[in-house]
Structure 1
Amino acid sequence: MHYIDKARGQLTDLVGKVVDSTTGGGGNSQTLTVSRSRPEVEQFWRDPENLSEVLGDVAEVRSTKPGSYEWTLNVGADEHTTWNTTLIEGDGNLLFVGSAAGEDSAADSPEIELTFRDAPHDLGTEMTIRAKTPLPDILTGAALFKAIYRARALLQTGELPTLRHNPSARKAAR
Structure 2
Amino acid sequence: MNWAGPLEDQTRRLLSKIVAPAAGVATQAVTIARPRATVERFWRDPDNLSAVLDGIAQVTATDSDRLTWSFAEGTAAATQWVTHTVVAADEIRFVGSHDSAGRSQIRLLFADAPKDLGTEVTIRVAGPLPKQLTAPAAFTALYRARALLQTGEAPTLAHNPSGRRDAADQEA
TM interval, shorter chain, is 0.7 to 0.9
Deviation at 1:74, TM superposition (A): 1.4
| Distance in 2 (alpha carbons) for counterparts of 1:161 and 1:67 | 29
Deviation at 1:91, TM superposition (A): 1.2
Which amino acid in 2 is paired with 1:121?
K
2:76 counterpart of 1:78? yes
Mapped contact 1:108–1:133 kept (Cα < 8 A): no
Q: Deviations over 1:41-83 (max 9, x none)?
A: 0000000000011100111111111111111111894311111
Residue segments in structure 1 that go unaligned for 5+ positions in a row: 1-22
Which amino acid in 1 is paired with 2:161?
P
2:126 counterpart of 1:132? yes
Aligned residues: 143
| Distance in 1 (alpha carbons) for counterparts of 2:102 and 2:87 | 21
Does the residue aligned with 1:128 lie in a helix, a strand or coil? strand
2:110 counterpart of 1:112? no
Give the TM-score of the pair, scaled to structure 2. Answer: 0.76
Seen in structure 2, the aligned counterparts of structure 1 residues 116 and 77 have a Cα distance that, compared at 3 Å, is same
Higher relative contact order by CA 8 Å / sep ≥ 6: 1 or 2?
Answer: 2
Residue segments in structure 2 that go unaligned for 5+ positions in a row: 1-21, 166-172
| Distance in 2 (alpha carbons) for counterparts of 1:129 and 1:57 | 19
Mapping of residues 18-167 of structure 1, within 5 Å: 27-74=25-72, 77-99=75-97, 104=98, 106=100, 109-167=103-161
Rg comparison, structure with higher value = 2
Give the TM-score of the pair, scaled to structure 1. Answer: 0.75
Identity among equivalent pairs (%) = 49
